[in-house]
Amino acid sequence: MPFLPPARAPAGLRRLALLAGLALVLAWPAQAQEKVVLQLKHSHQFQFAGYYAALEQGYYREAGLDVRILEGADGNEPERAVLAGKAQYGVGDSSLLLARLKGKPVVVLGVVFQHSPYALVMAQGTAAPDVHRVAGKRVMIGTLSNDLSQGDELMAYLRKEGIQPSGLRRLEHSYNPDDLITGKVDAMSIFTTNEPDLLDRAGFPYDIYSPRNAGIDFYGDNLFTSEQEIRDHPERVKAFRAASMRGWQYAMSRHDEIADLILNKYSRRNDRRHLLYEARAMVPLVQPVLVEVGYMNPDRWQHIADVYTDLGMLPRGASFDGFLYQADSGRALAWLYRVLAAGGALLVLGAGVHVALLARERRRAQEAIRKGEARFRTMFEAAPMGIALIDTASGQFRDINPRYLEIAGRTLAEMKASSWRDISHPDDVAPEQEQVARLQAQQIAGFKLAKRLLRPNGSVVWVDASITTLDAGSKAHHLCMIEDITDKKQTEALVWQQANFDTLTQLPNRRMFQNRLEQAIVKSRRDGSRVAILFIDLDHFKEVNDTLGHHQGDVLLVDAAHRIGACVRECDTVARLGGDEFTVILSELDAAGLGRVETIAQTILDSLRAPFPLGAEQAFVSASIGITLFPDDAASIEDLLKHADQAMYAAKDAGRNRFSYFTPALQVAALNRMRLTNDLRGAVKGQQLELYFQPIVHLRSGRIHKAEALVRWRHPVRGLVSPMEFIPLAEASGLIIEIGAWVFREAVRWLRRWRSEIDPAFQLSVNQSPLEFQRDGGYQAWLALLGELGLPGQAVVIEITEGLLLDASSSVVDQLLQLRDGGIQVALDDFGTGYCSLSYLKKFDIDYLKIDRSFTRNLAPDSSDMALSDAIIVMAHKLGLHVIAEGVETPEQRDLLAAAGCDYGQGYLFARPMPATEFDALLRSSADTAIVTSQ
């Protein structure tokens, strides 16, 4: 008797079926939620978004499962946890295949990442990207204890490129991109969904090498379980897989929502921007629009097995039967067999129910397909990336989503009437066409590149394009997914500009200068030409900043940059190293070209000597230029710059506004200065410094009223070193602070003896370098020492130079006020040789003027020097200052100064500087004649 459809079955049979169904429902055991554990392979991030979505959206709960998701410490932890029974499910990579073929009972339930995110990253080189640069370098690929964690497919890739692992210097993987940025390692394995964002944020230029470029196309993340879980809980396995894949479909269409979920409930290790970057990068790897999440192709697994075989990790022809999960459809009808087992009386009814269920399942399957197609279409239309299906042979667009049209700036009709070549920048067509040809020849399965699209309005948009081959019937097609990276490119260009060019003058900076010098040297070595480096320092630029302000100083620097650039060839490089220092690289010089170096240097000097218009003012500067040649003067960049700097200082010492070539003598002098500076560092502790005094004589009475304290250095090998030689070194090295403190301590101890034993009004002068005015704490320590010794501040005179007053910053003013408040007097040394004005004398409470020896040397009754000395003396007295003349060497000079009213004299006529003990004897013998009281 044939089965009747349920609607036409006799009433008695329908009642019987109803009762049987009710009995089955009542007999079916109520199930509580089963607790299971999912072990991840890394910390929480968007890489595991589908599982979070399945949990939060209740998909696991609807399947009767209570799921706990655990973070992982390393890529192999899921395998260990599942096999040990600590977790029922795990997330692993393609190395699960190796585990299976080693006898471990792991079973892959579904593939999430259709393409592996593993890649190799290196610092960007100057030449085109080439993975062979990694040979012999320090690399981090997987762990040294287990090559199967991030190591297998990259090792296969390197071997296929002819790079043997034995030629790599492998380090333990830190998973920290800073190790690549800081140069601790030369290359490392990464996830293309993760580290590139961190490197981009750090502004680090890099090249990425993917195994897919060599045709090695592994699956990425895979959901897996154990054979025991499938054997003991087949329905639970099926339910867990279905809920997980449903969660992935949800997550891949709602990036923002899932990113917020991760931040709120799982981890704040990465910020929202990074999570969204990861989500976008996962789209071409998961391919949720084209492939149902969880789908796995046995042929792809065979491809992976073949790669492992080539690596020697698997025997050829190894079988992985049972590795891929197959749902047991017979279990879906287990309830029917229970009914049949209840008795033969229900056989006909059971058969009818079975047919009805099959029909219902068929309708549900058709509805699921329809909804799936609608869902995939919705995801295609709403995808955050531009997606297009392209005919590989013709390049014509077959299907395009709205985001692709938006990025391209064209309508659907315009796009379908075009090919990808028509909308690409002409310079980008050839390299992309070369890759497409490899795609057609099935040499590669896909490729990535950054390219430019031309919009109809003429604007250019940069995109990251991911192209994957697609089997779409008789014609070959490929899928192109693009992401707008115009802002990123503009930011990179800005970062590169700022990293390589001076922001003020737009000239190459030190980094770019060294790069171009390296290139010039390489070319010089290749063709035997020479390279000249001109080191240019502006003379008197500080005065422009001090008098007219830094803004006008910047205007002058920009003008100077233009002038220097106008003096050289287009192939030469002009750079600004900082401050008022410029450099010029004159490359590819032959024998005749060497003669033009001096011409160019002189042209630059003449150009910079012309006045610089600065608003209503004009500024006059000159330049000092040091010249060095490669390979004549040095073989390295460091030595070339050092020698050019030495030559520049030689030009300054020779009077400025000139150029000087480097000579070995300059190097010898520089080494002597360096060694002498090093020796000077131990002079105070080594008790090598000696205190000398030179008397200052009252011209009317001829008595010694004062003395100037001077320092001498008795070097253990060189003997007595001139102050003219070591004082500049002390100032340049900062040792002048320590030396000045020593001089003051020793001098005031002698001063206390002379004031208590010889003359209570005796006064001592101590020289001060401008650098000593910048010491921390000012003169508090000096004033405290005077207090300890019972000496008044008036017992000491501090001698300063006019230049210090010209640079009278607030700190200098504070120091001078501190001296005045402490009673210490101030003398202006070398007066008449600088730029000091009368207003400074009035403003800063100066007590003494010291006429420079350049005036005293040529004193004659009617000379101009005498007239100037007279004027200084009269001016000083009218301002209430006393005058000391330096360099008095003849009685005639003394008499002329005394007749002019000069108060004090100092010079060889009275006494040369002498050690403290000799001056003590001189002072005592002078006191035997008469004790001179204060003026």
| Distance (Å) of CA 402 to CA 200, 279, 407, 813, 897 | 28, 19, 9, 70, 97
Q: What are the structure tokens assigned to 224, written together?
A: 């897996």
Question: With the CA atoms of 205, 209, 213 and 218 taken in that order, what torsion angle do they form, in degrees rounded to the nearest 10?
Answer: -130
- Region of poorest pLDDT, from 345-359, 443-457, 813-827, 850-864: 345-359
Q: What amino acid is encoded at 742 in this protein?
A: W
List the one residue out of 771, 763, 795 whose CA is nearest residue 693: 763
The confidence score (pLDDT) of residue 211 equals 87
Dihedral sign (CA 164, 170, 174, 176):
negative
Strand partners, 97: none
Q: What is the pLDDT of residue 57?
A: 93
How many CA atoms does the CB half-sphere of 621 hold within 13 Å? 25
Contact 725, 676 (CB under 8 A): yes
Q: So what's the pLDDT on residue 257?
A: 92
Q: What is the pLDDT of residue 28?
A: 40
In single-letter form, the type of residue at position 273 comes to R
Q: What gap in Å lies between CA 541 and CA 530, rounded to an integer?
A: 32
**Residue range 324-353: average pLDDT?**
51
Each residue of 354-371: pLDDT tens digit?
555 666 666 665 665 566
Most confident of 123-127, 438-442, 906-910: 906-910
Distance CA 525, CA 861 (A): 67
Question: Please, which residues bridge with residue 190 across strands?
Answer: 119
The rounded mean pLDDT for the chain is 84
d(CA 499, CA 510): 10
Report d(CA 480, CA 621) in Å as an integer: 61
* Residue 304 vs residue 355, higher pLDDT: 304
Q: Which residues of 433-466 are buried (b: 16+ CB within 10 A; e: fewer)?
A: eebbeebeeeebbbbbeebbbbeeeeeebbbbbb
Residue 137 tokens read as 């370098």
Contacts of 108 (CB under 8 A, 6+ apart): 96, 222, 223, 224, 296, 323, 324, 325
The residues near 925 (Cβ < 8 Å, ≥ 6 apart) are none
Specify the higher pLDDT residue, 6 or 905: 905
Residues facing residue 623 across a β-bridge: 538
**Neighbouring C-beta atoms of residue 933, cutoff 10 Å:** 10
Q: Does residue 584 contact residue 573 with C-beta atoms inside 8 Å?
A: yes
pLDDT for res 806? 61
pLDDT in tens, 832-886: 665 555 656 766 778 999 988 888 888 888 888 888 889 889 988 998 899 999 9
d(CA 289, CA 468): 13
Tens of pLDDT, residues 550-569: 899 999 999 999 999 999 98
Cβ atoms of residues 428 and 489 within 8 Å: no
**Three-class SS of residue 126?**
coil
Decide: 548 and 619 in contact? Cβ < 8 Å. Answer: yes
Half-sphere exposure of 69 toward its Cβ, with a 13 Å CA cutoff?
Answer: 24
Residue 313's pLDDT band, with cuts at 50, 70 and 90, is confident
Rg (CA), the chain: 44
72: its two tokens: 């992982």
pLDDT for 489-521, tens place per residue? 888 888 888 888 998 999 999 999 999 999 999
Res 791: pLDDT: 94
Q: State the amino acid at position 520 in one-letter form.
A: A
Q: In whole angstroms, give the CA distance from residue 893 to residue 900.
A: 11
Q: What is the band of 76 on the pLDDT scale with cuts at 50, 70, 90?
A: confident
Confidence bin at 246 (pLDDT 50/70/90):
very high
* pLDDT at residue 327, rounded to an integer: 65
Q: Which residue from 624, 645, 631 is spatially nearest to 589, judged by alpha carbons?
A: 631
Kind plus residue range of the DSSP H or E element containing 113: none
Q: Which amino acid is at 41?
A: K
Poorest-pLDDT segment among 118-122, 262-266, 851-855, 899-903: 851-855
Whole-angstrom distance, CA of residue 596 vs CA of residue 583: 17
DSSP 286-350: H-TTTS-TB---HHHHHHHHHHHHHTTSS-TT---TT-B----GGGGGHHHHHHHHH-GGGHHHH
pLDDT at 917 over 50: yes
Structure tokens at 717: 């090998």
What distance in Å separates the CA atoms of residue 33 and residue 36, rounded to the nearest whole number? 9
| Whether 88 contacts 66, CB under 8 Å | no
The dihedral built from the CA positions of residue 95, 98, 103 and 105, taken in this order, carries a sign that is: positive
CA distance 59 to 240: 9
CA dist., res. 828 & res. 814, Å (int): 17
Q: How many CA atoms lie within 13 A of 886 on its CB side?
A: 20
Per residue, what are the HEC states of 557-603? HHHHHHHHHHCCCCCCEEEEEECCEEEEEEEEECHHHHHHHHHHHHH
Going from the C-alpha of 539 to that of each of 552, 653, 742, the distances in angstroms are 16, 12, 34
What pLDDT is stored for residue 786 in this prediction?
92
Helix (H) or strand (E) holding 934: none
115-150: per-residue pLDDT in tens? 889 899 999 877 778 888 888 899 998 777 655 445
Question: Which segment, 155-164, 578-587, 845-854, is predicted with the most confidence on average?
Answer: 578-587
Is residue 51 over pLDDT 90? yes
**Which residue(s) pair with 567 in the sheet?**
none
Question: How does pLDDT run across 226-244, given as a tens digit for each residue?
Answer: 999 999 999 999 999 999 9
- Predicted local confidence at residue 602, as pLDDT: 92
Range picked from 300-314, 562-576, 639-653, 794-808 for highest mean pLDDT: 562-576
Q: Give me the mean pLDDT over the 300-308 stretch.
A: 84
Q: pLDDT digits over 594-630, tens only?
A: 778 889 999 999 999 999 999 888 888 999 999 998 9
Structure-block tokens of residue 743: 């001089």
Q: Average pLDDT of 715-723?
A: 88
Q: What whole-number distance in Å separates Cα of residue 506 and Cα of residue 360? A: 75
Q: Using a cut of 0.85, tell me whether the model's pTM lies above it.
A: no
Cβ neighbours of residue 415 closer than 8 Å, sequence gap 6 or more: 388, 397, 400, 404, 405, 408, 423
CA 886/CA 831 separation, integer angstroms: 10
Q: Is 315 exposed, middle or buried (0-12, 13-18, 19+ CB in 10 A)?
A: exposed
Distances (CA, A) of 734 to 273, 516, 747, 798: 48, 34, 21, 19
Structure tokens at 732: 């340049």
pLDDT given for residue 23 in this prediction: 39
- Residue 353 or residue 701, greater confidence: 701
The secondary structure of 875-912 as a DSSP string is HHHHTT-EEEEE---SHHHHHHHHHTT--EEESTTT--
Taking only the tens place, the pLDDT of each residue in 789-799 is 999 999 999 99
pLDDT band, very low/low/confident/very high, at 396 (cuts 50, 70, 90): very high
Identify the sign of the CA torsion 53, 57, 59, 64: positive
Cite the DSSP H helix spans in 528-549.
541-548
Amino acid 22: pLDDT: 37
Secondary structure (3-state) at 683: coil
Q: 173 with 140: CB under 8 angstroms?
A: yes
pLDDT exceeds 90 at position 260:
yes
CA-based max dimension of the chain: 156
The first and second tokens of residue 876, run together, are: 């000083």
SS (H, E, C) 853-881: HHHHCCCCCCCHHHHHHHHHHHHHHHCCC
pLDDT on residue 575: 94
| Residue labelled with tokens 């921007």 | 273
Please give the pLDDT value at position 429. 92
pLDDT at residue number 809: 59
- 722 CB-side CA count, 13 A: 2
Ranges 118-127, 227-236, 662-671, 774-783: which has the least confidence = 662-671
Residue 239 is predicted with a pLDDT of 93
Q: Which pLDDT score, from 0 to 100, does residue 493 have?
A: 83
pLDDT score of 9 more than 50: no
Question: Among 591, 578, 618, 586, which Cα is nearest to 603's?
Answer: 586
